[in-house]
Structure formats: C-alpha cells, structure tokens
Structure 1
C-alpha cells in the first residue's frame, strides 16, 4: 500500500472516530438532567423569558435539527458559544491547547528518559538487585493515584521545601519562542527556566504511571530480543556488548514502545484533567472541569472534540513512524 493510500485510509478512519465522539457527546447533552437555560437564568425568571432564551439557544428545535446545526459548524471551526461567558468556544479552547500539549509532551519526555534506560538495566540484570528495584519502582508507579501524588509533591516540595511553585503556569513555550524570535535571548532563557520550574511537578505527576508502564514494556521486550538467535550470532562475531544491546536489541524493542508512547500521548492529552485541576494548570482539563461544573455544554462539547481529534492525530503519526523504525513494517495496516 502506498503512503498516500495509507494516509487517506487513516484520515477516513479518524474522521469516523471523531464523528462517533461528536454524536456521543451530543447524545449525552440530550439525556443529561437539567436545562442549559438554568445556567443563564435565575430560578424565579418569568416563563416567557425562559421560553425566549430557549428559543434563542435553539433548544426548542427538533433533535435532528439541533444535531445538524451542531455538526455542520465543526468542519469550519464553529464549536458554538459558551453559555457562561458568551465567548466563542473555539477561541477559548484554542488558548488552552498549548498548555495541555506542553504538559502532555513534558510528561512523555520525563517518562521516556527515565523508563527506557531503567528497562534496559532491568533486562540486562535479570533477577538481580537493579531488576528488583526497577520492578518495585514500576509497581509503585502504576499503583499510585496521580491526584494523590500531585498533592504530596505540592506539600513536600512546594510548601515544606519551597523548591517549586504550588500551581499556575507563569509562561508558556509560545511566549518563550516569541522572545527568542524577537532577539531577546536573555529573556527567552529566563522564560525557559521559569517554564521548567513551573512544569516539573505536573509533568512528574502525570508521567509517573507512564514511566512505570514503559519500564515494564522495555524490560519484557529486551528479554524477548536477548534470547533470539541474531543476538548470539552478534556476540559470536565479537561485536561489543553495548553495540549489540543498544544498536540491535533496543532498536527492535522500539516498535511496541513507540506504539505505547503514541497511544499514551493521546491519552495524556485527555487524561491530564485531574493533574491540571490539582496544579491549576490552564489547559483543556481545567476548562473541561469548570465547564462541567457550570453545565456549559458548548464548552464541554468543544473540549471533548478537540481531545478526540488530538488522539486521532497522534495515532496516525504513530502508525506512520512504524515504517521508519523498522523497514519490515510497511503501510499495510
């Protein structure tokens, strides 16, 4: 299968997934108890005023009409208007995307940097102290709830030791790049340090489970590859152990790791909700929780649609990377 056909197929599949998410979200709004008009109106409002507001929101239209009006605006970026603030959902969500992407990518980088070397050490020292230590670390990481870990990190490292800020995001990567392109190198460097200072605790909190997962996956993949014939042949030829271990064995282990990293990156984009809430990080998760609490359905719908699109895009990118990591994997998926 050519790359163009592969990409077309994946895009069509992704569009179908996004359509399914959109339909489910619309259905949840329909069956959810309560009236969106209550967000805008006090309980003792005149019934005529209530009917007028419902008509202005289009909630008195048949469901199929509401559904068509909802989905027809999505391809052109029209996700509706917030019930609580009156702002465009698209612009509000767009302002939150960089913060969520920064957190998800930072958590992934933290996980990969720690997990892959730890998994290699664990596999090459099987049934020894490093292996047992990595296993205990993985068990602790998988078993620890993110919200609890975040609170503990804030109490210990922020409140008691005053090493990191407790919350917020003082500066974002886009602002750092603006300073860099403007030639303000010193300010850009200070901004990057500040960004790292603020994102460290949220990234560790979000990436802990991911770190444990990749560690176990790397260990199992390395153990499987180390027992194969080509490894024994490479050693018999006198190749250095480091070359065998990292050039051949680890590279062949990367296929499942890339799969999990890609899938988890998409999951982190949507799963950062609790972490963003704990650290008051101004991303999509924060917007989503606030919108749910205020029953702002247009904002809830817009946030979920963007999250689903991000998940689909990440999966397409991961599928494309397969062939470059291992030439035996073509565009036949």
Structure 2
C-alpha cells in the first residue's frame, strides 16, 4: 500500500469476510483532523524544531510527527518497542499551516487524536496555539473496498474539506431545545420533555463525517476521550453488522451495567431519601493494518 502505518487485519464474519484496516500501532483506521487556532506561528515552528520527533516534510509542505524520540513514551495497543524495527519510525500525524492563523493535524485514529492533543499541549505554549475543534470519520474501513490514496494518505482533504459535513449549530440546537421545553407549563413535564428531546437525538445514527468542538481547556481531555470512545463503539457495532446501533443503545447499556453492579447500593441509598411526594422513575477483528511504512520508504 506504500505506507507502512496501515495494516490489514482479517476479520471473519457472516456472511462476508471483511478485512479491517488498522494502524501499525493497533487502532482501527479512522481519519481525523485536529484544528488549531494559531496566535504566533513563529513560536509554533520554533517548538516543532526543538522536538526530535518532528521532521519537516517538503514534499507535503508539512511538519511530520514521528513515533520516535520524545514520542516513544506514548502508549498504544502496539507501543514503540513492539513495532518491528523495519517499520520505524512510524508517522503518527502531519501538521499543515493554513495561513498564519490556522493549523491542522491529520492523524489516522481517535487514539492518536487524544495523545496528540495532550502531547503538544505540553510542548506548544497555549498563547501560541490552541485546539478548537475536530473533524472525524465515524466508520471503519474494509481493505476490500479498493480505497484510493486520497482516502488512505494525508492530507485528509478528501474527508474534511467538503460541503456535506455535519457541522454543529449550537444556536439552532439551543433554540429547538428551548421551544420543546417551553411547550410545557409544569416543571415535571419540562424535565421529561428535556430528557425526551435528548433521547430522540441520541437515537439518530452518527453522521459519517462529523465536526466536534474540542472543549479541551474547559473540560480536560476526559470528556473528549469519552466522546470519541463512544463513537468508536458505534462504528464497531456497525462494522459487525448491527447497523441500527446508536448512541442511545450504548448509553442504555452503560446505565444497565451500572445498575447491575451497584443496583443494591443505589436502592439502599434511595430508601434513605425522604419522600418528596412524587413518584420517581429510575430512570473480531483479525484484520490488516494500514501499513505505516518506515520514514525512509515514504521518501
């Protein structure tokens, strides 16, 4: 395939044998783009030059992030010392400047998104650049689909520079939610309308390509990691043939798991709460990786 980061992993399923594309570090291949607002490009470039795991790639006009040197400590399913020497150093991602005020990082998995945001937050001053949003592909890829280079190799403009993206509209969302709640006069009905609104939203399948606000500096990495993990679970279910699986099903499973584990304790605590006068409802992969080639082979 010309890039040793991608590997084919055989997955046998019914009725068709699939070949899942994964990365050389073991994650399902899900192209992702991290967007940065740049306040001082010179400082950002200076930070890249200081890092031995960063290398300028003139062919792509990009700064290449390698799984080497300072980045070796990052843990993947297949970590640095498990990667065969002939495939080192693996390319983890590519940074592209878009003018002087925007920079994007293209990576091949959700796990790399999380590691990248944390890693570069330590090495790039927040006054020089800050993460603003992500664009991600919410599906797994089959090697048998005869994907073109534009779908396998960065830059990932094929996925993310297009007009049919599902872009969030927080103003429209807030307006629709407010209208739904205002239709109710009773406080209890308002709460139920709010819950029903969110439930119906969660029953909709995720868009294949989606934009997600990062909120990294306000909420930390955990909320973003959870959001991406939940999207990976839905993609995995669809890959396995359960195409009707949605975020609602996942949340229901998580709630049920909590009840199964802590049900007795929760019920005991509930018995101690004074009665408020209202009833309360409790509420395979065998695959082929995208072969990420050694740096020399890519050049």
- TM-score normalised per structure 1: 0.27
- TM-score normalised per structure 2: 0.29
- Greater relative contact order (Cα 8 A, min sep 6): structure 1 or 2? 2
Q: Which has the higher helix share?
A: 1
Tell which structure's C-alpha radius of gyration is larger. 1
